[in-house]
Structure 1
Amino acid sequence: MRPLTHPRRVILGLTAVATVAAGLTLVPGSATAAEIPVGSGSYSDTRPDGTVGPLDSDGNPVLPQVTDNVADQPVPTNDWWSSLVFKRYADIPHSQPMYGHPLSYQAVANGLEVGYQTQAAVDGAAYNFPHVADLTLGLAGLNSPDTKADGWSDWTVTPYWEDDAHTFRATIGHGSPFVYAEGTGGDAEITTGAAPEVFADEGSTLGVTVNGRDYALFAPGGSAWTVSGDTISSDLGGNGYYSVAVLPDQSALDLYAQYAYSFVTGSTVDWSYDESAGQVSATYTLQTEAREGEETGTIQALYPHQWQHTTDELTDYEYVSPRGTMRVRDGASFTTTQSVVGVLPTLPESGGPDQAQLASFVNEVAADATVGFGDTYWSGKQFGRLAQVVGIADQIGETAARDTILDAMKAGFEEWFTAGGAAQFAYDSDWRTLTGYPASYGSDQELNDHHFHYSYFVYGAAVIAQYDPEWAAESAWGGMVEELIADAANPARDDDRYPFLRGFDVYAGHSWASGHQGFAAGNNQESSSESVNLSAGLILWGSATGDTELRDLGVYLLTTESEAIRQYWFDGNEENFPADYQHNTLGMVWSNGGAHATWWTGNPEEIHGINILPVTGGSLHLAQDQDAIVRNLEELVEENGGPPVEWKEILWEFQALADPAAARAAYDGDGGGSYEPEAGESWAHVYHWIYTLDAVGAPDTSVTADSPTAAAFSNGSSTTYTAHNYGDSEQTVTFSDGATLTVPPNSSATQTG
């Protein structure tokens, strides 16, 4: 990502005189709001009149709840622990349940509740592993009025408690069986949710079983634990720290004891895209500090999407989680490696679609090519709808229609990217976020869904950049595109304006939608496909603008999340959902489980379709598990009592990724092209998608390429290779099966062999 230009780092709340002196413009309707220039565009430093920012459930404005240690840092909302900083409910000043896996947590007045749930509660459409407090970690007498975040890293966080006599902090994280506690003002005090059964007492190390779960408590060397009823205490030898670990079983006590004093202080993911090999690798590393002794190693529990893609040595120990079996690694780091499925701006040219019919559909879109200004989500959907037709128009020589659509998209973007109009963006310096107004679905009050909404903007802008690089230049309108990218998916950890990867949880492998995580079930994500839409947009935007950092970020995000979707939304291996859960797909993943549901309807079509739309050249990853597609659609038909009635075209496009002939038969036999499609779709795109795949075959994701914008398709008798070259010189793309494809500059090419 190109560095953000420093003129945008203005001091918010400038006086009118200072604003003029800085070369900024006052936004109409406000005496103090400044228009912050970004290339040809701008955003405001103040929300439009009559609009709101983050609120609690009573409608009161809220600010990030953090300590002075991190008051100057952008807050990572939309995380697994965000209820620590975003107090959605005024009467819950500590936190909602937070699910790190294998442990769950909840901050309360006297410390940190810790639980490890091993039994799923299955209730029809949903299953969950609810938080139940086995232990509450704290200090004797601690009674804090609230809990704040005292620090965080890529997947760890440190909650902080303080009252008149005590301070207490505890570092917790994804995949960590340990909690690392520090405090002042009192002895360590741990209360148990049931009578503890002691299975090991070795002075500073105590093993207890609570509610059938085994825990190890580690005090500093030379100190000891005392058990009295449901209270366990230690004076810690005056050292003020201890750790607690949930054990996979009692035999692991000695192994875990080795790392009891190696306190985790941070976590970092580093990704690398090996373009020539068609693979992306990610290394997940915990930083540690030895509180006594010299040991700096630690224990980590890997999710299925991680341990199935690592060659690093794992132990035989396992944990139960809502995502399936977690496997234990004895080590502070591990690396995953996955093959990259390409993203295409447009499916390949083929003899499948009837050219006259396709041209008619394309010109219908061009004839009504406008972008209304309802809100960021629905305007975004319009950008997305038009963007999918541009490449099709170009492919069949309908250049007038292509340019009409591009002009409509540019006009829409330029309206949104200019402060002071009916549609605009405003920066919130308290929450370090850029929000579009009109807002929707809580994107303003709850900081929800920025990655969903902005995905359509980024993807649409990438299509424009393919045809008009000057428009997409940072000095023109591209600067505002990159502001949206920075808000939703900032790759920089040292940026003082936006947090690192706001919505994407690098350890969980997918994004979260709720800004505040204010639910007993933790955080959630419904439309994983709209999250992937942002990643695909990053790949195309980075490719079109020559920004390989953003391109490679998109490759990492899409490759990682596509496997999480396969595993946790579609249960691709049929191993991760509870054995007695009766559905094979989820509409929503929650921190503590999942639901065969959506936020707004129980219709089977929407439940199955919400993790498919928008269908784009970034959807090819879904073809990695064609059996899961078949199972998904079979369940839909069974639930629906027949073929889909709503969102038929989206579900046909999904079907075409596994069985193109069946999708074409459904299109031909069930009214394809004759009714109003879903708001983000057009018949030009649906027809082209289904008929092209019927001709060339479903994506063959076993064949990779040395380009992120290349793909192969197989119809059983031949393989079709296609790629887009964003460069100014000829490119030869090499596929993993040995095929090569020469692609002219700034063009797509296709060959069948």
Structure 2
Amino acid sequence: MTVSNIFVAIETDAPPPQVTSRSDHPVPRIGIQTDGSTPLETNKFYANFFLGGQTNPTWTHPYSVSWSKGSGAYKSWGLAVAHTERSQLTFGPPNTDAASNPPRYFISPIGIQSLILSAAQLDSNALTTLTTDSLNAFSVNVNLASGPGLPPLITFPLVQGMGFVTGVYKGAIPEVQSGVAFKSVTYVGPVASGKTYKYRAILADDTQWLIYVSSDDSSYAFNAFTLINNMCLQGPANFNGWIQVTKLPASTSNGEAAYDKSAGAYPTSAKISGSVQGSTGTYTLSWTKQGVVSQTLLMYALPHHSQSFTSATVGGQTDMVLETTTKGLATAVVADSWTLSETDLPTNMDFAPWSPSRGSVKTLSSSAISLMNTAGEAELSQDISQQTNLNSMYFSGKGLAKFAAIVYAIHDIAGNASLALAGLQKLEDAFSVFVNNAQTFPLVYDSAWKGAVSSGTYSTGDSNLDFGNTYYNDHHFHYGYFVYTAAVIGYLNPTWLDQGTNRAWVNMLVRDYANPISDDSYFPFSRSFDWFHGHSWAKGLFDSADGKDQESSSEDTMASYAIKMWGRTVNDTNMEARGNLMLAIQARSLRNYYLLESNNTVQPPVYIGNKAAGILFENKIDHTTYFGTSIEYIEGIHMIPQMPFSAFTRSASFVREEWDTYFSNGRVDSVAGGWRGILYANLAIIDPSTSYNFFANQNFDYGLLDGGASRTWYLAYSAGLGGALGNAKRDVLSDGFIGMGGQTGPYDPNEARGDSTGKIERKHRIREFLQRLS
């Protein structure tokens, strides 16, 4: 696979006509300045600025910023800047389910106003307004004006990873304030091109901050800022320029020098580009900058960035690090762009069970295939429509994906074409309900924020209905299941793709949660997946004191896997390559932030014993779920659904540690209901035989299956990872090569080739299989 540009349009047409449009979305667009035609990002880091009271923080990492709005010790109306150290974290009570008793959560304090960028005109006028513009995937402009409809006095270009918080002033009396209070402020002198002047501030908490003042105005006098009290440094009237503030790390050998070399320049936006060649994917983040553009930008990289930097980008790294709230140490990098590489893309992964050592496995023992057929007959006799036409896009999607996996496994692995095709027809009929938009709560196209949302909240007034789908919560979770199902249907029946609006409807879902371009008139770029953080955010249009969050890392990767497989099915190589790269990036970010092995050096050491992080917010990590505190919920929500990508993103070493921590020595069998099936399916990654034997039990209890899971697929999955190998070698020797090319009995050399060719092919395939077994 060679793709020079993975960020190309899927399509740009309007949503299919059965998805009607409406403009009355219940969430107002507070302070957003837009022409109304540009799709708005709903799940990005800065959403708190246009939600609720507009005062909850935004995390750019390593800093957080928030609108003071008359709060704090100084009653400021400016933009407050904070940075917290690990020593400031608060840890929760012990998780007694884990032997090491790790804390159940940790949280960083909010409300600290270390420095505030403001203006005298704002703080004397409670009519101050906050607006936003240029709402992009990696950046936003936040504007403060002294009254409604007035031009901004200060514009703050906020960009993920920015090394300085920058305020651009237009005719204001600038003030740098501190809710902590200044212990001292010292004028240091000019730096860089002579346009930039530096101050060093020590706060009452003994932290050191640097303040850089720049101006293109020839009348600006150096050292023009005066400390008027212990909380306010004030500049001259009618100031036109930009002020930048940054924290000096406690331990660094060249921190100030690095800051000095970059001060004066600031990023205003970012673009991403990417390519794939073979199993290597490369992506580049490049920033547009303003100010003293001859200066090179200083940006902070998260741990997963530093691990995948190419050699050229590594050269820009400094020894300067600052803590982030939930992503470990961020490293300062002096560069106008970063290039990152992932060298382990899962290009050989398809619909079949997959593991790093075995690849995709479609060849199973006759005993496993027999059990699959028995289970498949029972499960495909169920009423698919009843299990999928629900009042929830999430549960409907899970149900459809469950039957898609059954149909695929019966067709391609068990080779039972007649049973599979009968199930496929029922699956297509069930799926058509959604394509025709005839489900309980049809989708609507929201022309206000621009996206495909459930009509449920419009009908009921309940913002939390279907997990907040109407408010853009969880779209990648919900729609990923539909996209996967469509990929299976189109793979087994290619004519389906061009029937009616099937292809367009599925592409609409992909564009909604994972649109690859920024100039689509109908959907924003990459609503869910955050290419800076390396994973998605599930929270949509709900303001939150702790920022965006995500509960299920595995359903996040399911959404990317669905993109990969839909791209393969419709021959969109760009989409398939993009899905492969997203999976590789997610595997890395999950190792760092979500799935915590004992050697993890990113999260607080005392927290590692929890294993799965829990709900990861921007400001805290909480080892819980939104629906309960049982340990099988907390760990299991990061397992579902158990699919080919699972062994790619969930390493065997992590699964072993997690299993030994919570579920070994028979503890798994005390878990009730479908969660027990989830746990046993996950066990296949490290102990496929025990996993397979659980599902192969002739007295298997179907009540131990989650509503999105099937015995048929779990048999195929655990056997494919090696669970039925004890019988596979004997079956091959006695019965012929099983499960390849649709065979369910002894191999027929005349089926697809001439007799002699067939015999040769049989020998090669048996030899290959036996080598795999060994």
Name the residue aligned to 1:134.
114
Q: CA deviation at 1:405?
A: 2.2
Matches of residues 189-588 of structure 1 in structure 2 within 5 Å?
Answer: 189-198=175-184, 200-203=186-189, 204-210=197-203, 211-220=205-214, 222-224=221-223, 225-227=225-227, 228-235=229-236, 238-249=239-250, 251-275=254-278, 278-289=279-290, 291-292=291-292, 294-310=293-309, 311=311, 312-313=314-315, 314-321=317-324, 322-338=326-342, 339-342=344-347, 343-347=349-353, 348-352=361-365, 353-371=367-385, 372-374=388-390, 375-394=392-411, 395-419=413-437, 422-438=440-456, 440-473=465-498, 476-572=501-597, 573-581=599-607, 582-588=609-615
Match of 2:706 among 678, 684, 693: 678
Contact 2:44 2:137 in 1 (8 A): no
Q: CA deviation at 1:64?
A: 5.4
Name the residue aligned to 1:738.
none
Counterpart amino acid of residue 389 in structure 2? F
Matches of residues 76-225 of structure 1 in structure 2 within 5 Å?
Answer: 76-85=41-50, 87=51, 89=52, 92=53, 94-109=54-69, 110-119=77-86, 120-124=89-93, 125-131=104-110, 132-142=112-122, 143-164=126-147, 167-198=153-184, 200-203=186-189, 204-210=197-203, 211-220=205-214, 222-224=221-223, 225=225
Counterpart amino acid of residue 200 in structure 2? G
Counterpart amino acid of residue 253 in structure 1? E
Following the alignment from structure 2 to structure 1, what is the Cα–Cα distance between the partners of residues 698 and 201?
A: 62
Q: CA deviation at 1:235?
A: 2.3
- Distance change (3 Å), C-alpha of 1:474 and 1:181: farther
Following the alignment from structure 1 to structure 2, what is the Cα–Cα distance between the partners of residues 575 and 752?
A: 38
- Distance change (3 Å), C-alpha of 1:459 and 1:420: closer
- Distance change (3 Å), C-alpha of 1:147 and 1:412: farther
Q: Which has the larger radius of gyration?
A: 2
Could you tell which deviates more after superposition, 532-541 or 667-676? 667-676
Deviations 1:335-371 (A, max 9, x none): 2211113432122233345222211101112101513
Name the residue aligned to 1:729.
none
Deviations 1:697-722 (A, max 9, x none): 8xxxxxxxxxxxxxxxxxxxxxx9x9
Q: CA deviation at 1:751?
A: 7.7
Counterpart amino acid of residue 112 in structure 1? L
Following the alignment from structure 1 to structure 2, what is the Cα–Cα distance between the partners of residues 360 and 136?
A: 67
Deviations 1:453-510 (A, max 9, x none): 0000000000011012221238641100001111111001111211000011111111
Unaligned runs of 5+ in 2: 1-7, 70-76, 94-103, 190-196, 216-220, 354-360, 458-464, 726-736, 742-760, 763-767
- Distance change (3 Å), C-alpha of 1:268 and 1:63: same
Matches of residues 621-632 of structure 1 in structure 2 within 5 Å?
Answer: 621-623=648-650, 625-632=651-658
- Distance change (3 Å), C-alpha of 1:576 and 1:639: farther
- C-alpha RMSD of matched pairs (Å): 2.9
Deviations 1:584-643 (A, max 9, x none): 2212111012111000100100100101101112223134x3211111122223899665
Deviations 1:521-544 (A, max 9, x none): 111000121111111111111111
Following the alignment from structure 2 to structure 1, what is the Cα–Cα distance between the partners of residues 178 and 208?
A: 12
Contact 2:454 2:470 in 1 (8 A): no
Following the alignment from structure 1 to structure 2, what is the Cα–Cα distance between the partners of residues 424 and 107?
A: 38
TM-score by length of 1: 0.82
Counterpart amino acid of residue 319 in structure 2? D
Deviations 1:144-194 (A, max 9, x none): 544222223332222112223753211122221211211334221121122
Following the alignment from structure 1 to structure 2, what is the Cα–Cα distance between the partners of residues 652 and 558?
A: 23
Counterpart amino acid of residue 660 in structure 1? P
Count of residues in Structure 1 that have an aligned counterpart in Structure 2: 656
Deviations 1:27-78 (A, max 9, x none): xxxxxxxxx53xxxx311139xxxx8444xxxxxx2353114x643211111
SS at match of 2:285: strand
Following the alignment from structure 2 to structure 1, what is the Cα–Cα distance between the partners of residues 477 and 336?
A: 33
SS at match of 1:141: helix
Contact 2:170 2:238 in 1 (8 A): no
SS at match of 2:384: coil
Name the residue aligned to 1:689.
717
Name the residue aligned to 2:733.
none
Q: Identity over the aligned pairs, expressed in percent? A: 21
Match of 1:67 among 33, 42, 47: 33
- Distance change (3 Å), C-alpha of 1:420 and 1:386: closer
Contact 1:180 1:244 in 2 (8 A): yes
Contact 2:695 2:714 in 1 (8 A): no
Contact 1:425 1:434 in 2 (8 A): yes
1:600 aligns with 2:599: no
Unaligned runs of 5+ in 1: 10-35, 56-61, 698-719, 725-741, 744-748
Contact 2:120 2:173 in 1 (8 A): yes
Deviations 1:203-249 (A, max 9, x none): 42111133343221111264333223111122288323221122224
Could you tell which deviates more after superposition, 510-519 or 145-154? 145-154
SS at match of 2:512: helix
Following the alignment from structure 2 to structure 1, what is the Cα–Cα distance between the partners of residues 648 and 61?
A: 27
Following the alignment from structure 1 to structure 2, what is the Cα–Cα distance between the partners of residues 628 and 618?
A: 15
Q: CA deviation at 1:441?
A: 3.3
Following the alignment from structure 1 to structure 2, what is the Cα–Cα distance between the partners of residues 161 and 181?
A: 10
Contact 1:637 1:644 in 2 (8 A): no
Following the alignment from structure 2 to structure 1, what is the Cα–Cα distance between the partners of residues 559 and 172?
A: 48
Contact 2:379 2:710 in 1 (8 A): yes
Contact 2:78 2:116 in 1 (8 A): yes
Name the residue aligned to 2:744.
none
Counterpart amino acid of residue 495 in structure 2? E
Contact 2:690 2:723 in 1 (8 A): no
- Distance change (3 Å), C-alpha of 1:671 and 1:600: farther
Following the alignment from structure 1 to structure 2, what is the Cα–Cα distance between the partners of residues 425 and 330?
A: 46
- Distance change (3 Å), C-alpha of 1:546 and 1:723: farther
Q: CA deviation at 1:309?
A: 1.4
Task: Name the structure where helix makes up a greater proportion of residues.
Answer: 2
SS at match of 2:415: coil
Q: CA deviation at 1:657?
A: 1.2
Counterpart amino acid of residue 636 in structure 1? Y
1:609 aligns with 2:636: yes
SS at match of 1:317: strand
Counterpart amino acid of residue 159 in structure 2? G
Counterpart amino acid of residue 230 in structure 1? M
Contact 1:96 1:107 in 2 (8 A): yes
Following the alignment from structure 1 to structure 2, what is the Cα–Cα distance between the partners of residues 299 and 671?
A: 62
Q: CA deviation at 1:260?
A: 1.6
